[in-house]
Amino acid sequence: MPSRINLVVGRLQVTRARHGFVIPDAGDGDVFVPASRLGNAYDGDRVVARIEHQRRGRNREGTVVRVLERGRSQVVGVFHRSGRYGFLIPSEETLHRDVFLPGGAEAGARDGELVVARIVDWGSDHHDPVGEVVEVLGRPEEPGVDVLAIVHAHELPTEFPPEVITEAEELARRTSLEAVLPGRRDFRDLLTLTIDPIDAKDHDDAISIEQLERGRWRVGVHIADVSYFVQGGSATDLEAFQRGTSVYLVDRVLPMLPEVLSGDLCSLRPGQDRLTLSAILELDATGALRSLDLVAGVIRSRYSLTYEEAQDVIDGRRPAERDLQQALRDLRDLARELRKRRQARGGLDFDLPEARVIVNASGEPTQVQQVLRLDTHQLIEEFMILVNEAVARLATRQGVPFIYRVHENPDPDRFEQLREFLTGLGLELAKNAYRSSRPLQRLLATVEGQPEEAIVSTLVLRSMKQARYSAARGSHFGLGTRAYSHFTSPIRRYPDLVVHRIVRAALLEQRPVPEDLSERLETVAAHASLRERRAMEAERESVEVKKLEFLERHLGDVFAGTVSGVTSYGLFVLLDNVLAEGLVHVSQLEDDYYRYLEDEHALVGEARRRRIRLGDRVNVQVVSVGREARELDLTLVD
């Protein structure tokens, strides 16, 4: 076994500083790999690392000794010519070497253009990777090229194969909902509604509520029955598996399923009969779950609301029918009880600020809005959490093969670093905080409403492990539950679609889960986890690059912000509203000579003793924007 000879096998993640962390397959603590010991391994590769040593309270430290599997086959970057050959400077900071392009491999690219290069040789310790240009994207400043580069960098599919489109269209043509209605529970007379983001293209879930006797409630969470239409092993299913998830970029959506399914036949559109797998929940006035009934159903959604519209109805700012207004208020009140119960068992809530970039038809950013967290966001969130957990618990009790959503306890070494960091801010965290979410809950409550709230929340979030899919049941640290699943979004997440197939077979029809499906669950879980991480990175990058493009038009403008990081070379500042992070280099601090106090997370001037600490509020001016390098330079104005 590799562990017997001091080796660790896992997936490599490379930071902006170009150091790496190997995330072990076995789920043990991460292994830190300095940039000088990465060899020819790159972000996303599956590697073997040899453990060299471990300092107390720190991650194990190692060296990459072999690459088992490449995480990518191509690289996106800026082409430059040098004599008879060329080279590509990668756009991603985590790719720490240029790509050599021999003469004739440039495919007509001109100096300064963004290109996609296929890697033919990943190089070694002594020479750079070698590639050939397969597509020229255009000049970096041209509209839409920046997001297109992100799509190619993460190797996200943009078109469906012809056979998938043909199969989906044929399915839509020959589907007769009337033929399948007799075997389903009919909810069409119920007041059901959907609540989604303003730019939603598909509607996975609808909700209904009925008041019962003795203060009890019946809530229906109706989920699009995608598994009825998309059969396992079909061309559409295989393509959905490869994609793993829909990807929501700032100016486009790359759906998991073709539009005829995701936006029409499966989507719970208002006023149209739609097939569902419905979770019928009976709750008491305190939000305690008394019963769960899973059924194949049919609904006709009466209202399609955005989060903002639903909130306006609740608050009386938007005229609405009396029954809609009452249903929304009842759902809100019950969701608050659910949240209290979840927090009582240690569930964490990270109320981090989020920005939405508004772009025009050319893909140019026209506005950056901070997304306000409304009661209606929490309403939908709490009922989806409740259903996902209830379905996982039922599957566990029945002993059926399943895909769980697992969030493991944090790594003790990571939390020791967090404790040291918090001490510098005057905050305390128990030594065994990684064993339970309650100490973190108390910490987040302590900083709520304080200037350092967003920073502490971000640091805590970064100190925890990433949630993943698994065929083996495991606890969910962040939600404080022993079993959790993803059941509520089968239009946009492949694991949800697989869970629906299991629910239909084992829990609705009382038959064994097909053997070929059972045997694939761990493969599906691992692949879906990788695709999810890739989608999240692409989504984040698309928003960040558009923020920088927006700020290019605000050179010289002054913004308020919060010091989000302190280093020996300067301050990182998170701008209010825009939520873009930039650097105030120490060379910009001209009023004094500043020294870096690591323990206090501060820069202190020698003569005037001015102290600038993490969490301080400052005003800064935009000095320069480098979209290609993803850099924002700022200077203090007070």
**Domain annotation covers residue 157:** no
Examine the pLDDT at 27 and tell me if it is beyond 70: no
CA distance 405 to 388: 9
Let me know whether 166 and 211 are in one domain.
yes
Band (pLDDT 50/70/90 cuts) for residue 383 is very high
117, 23: one domain: no
Q: What is the pLDDT of residues 238-279, one digit of tens each?
A: 999 999 999 999 989 999 999 999 999 999 999 999 999 999
pLDDT, mean of residues 48-52: 92
Position 2 scores a pLDDT of 67
Fill in the DSSP letter of residue 131: E
d(CA 67, CA 392): 36
Per-residue pLDDT at 25 exceeds 90: no
Q: Give the integer Cα–Cα distance in Å for 377 and 51.
A: 45
What pLDDT score was predicted for residue 181? 83
Are residues 391 and 443 located together in one domain of the fold? no
pTM: 0.90
3-state percent helix, strand, coil for the chain, nearest multiple of 5: 35, 30, 35
Considering the domain architecture, whether residues 301 and 239 belong to the same structural domain is answered as yes
Tell me, what's the pLDDT at 1?
A: 67
User: Does residue 469 carry a pLDDT above 90?
Assistant: yes
Structure tokens at 96: 């720490």
One domain for residues 331 and 228? yes
Tokens, residue 56: 């107390």
pLDDT tens track for 585-637: 999 998 899 999 887 788 999 998 899 988 889 999 999 998 877 889 999 99
Pair of tokens at residue 202 = 């598909």
Total structural domains within the chain: 5
Tell me which residue range forms the domain holding 90: 74-139
| Residue that has been written with the tokens 């489109």 in this structure | 165
Give yes or no: residues 93 and 170 share one domain: no
Same domain for 567 and 540? no
Residue 94 confidence (pLDDT) above 70:
yes
Q: What is the pLDDT of residue 222?
A: 98
Q: Are residues 354 and 386 in the same domain?
A: yes
Amino acid at 50: R
Interstrand relation of 581-585 and 631-636 (parallel, antiparallel or unpaired): parallel
79 strand-pairing partners: 88
Do 218 and 167 fall into the same domain?
yes
What's the pLDDT tens digit per position in 388-439?
Answer: 999 999 999 999 999 999 999 888 877 887 888 888 778 888 888 888 888 8
Same domain, 417 and 566: no
* For residues 181-186, average pLDDT: 89
Determine phi and psi for 215, rounding to 5 degrees. Answer: 70, 15
Q: Based on the fold, state whether residues 497 and 622 are members of the same structural domain.
A: no
For the cut 90, the answer to whether the pLDDT of residue 283 exceeds it is yes
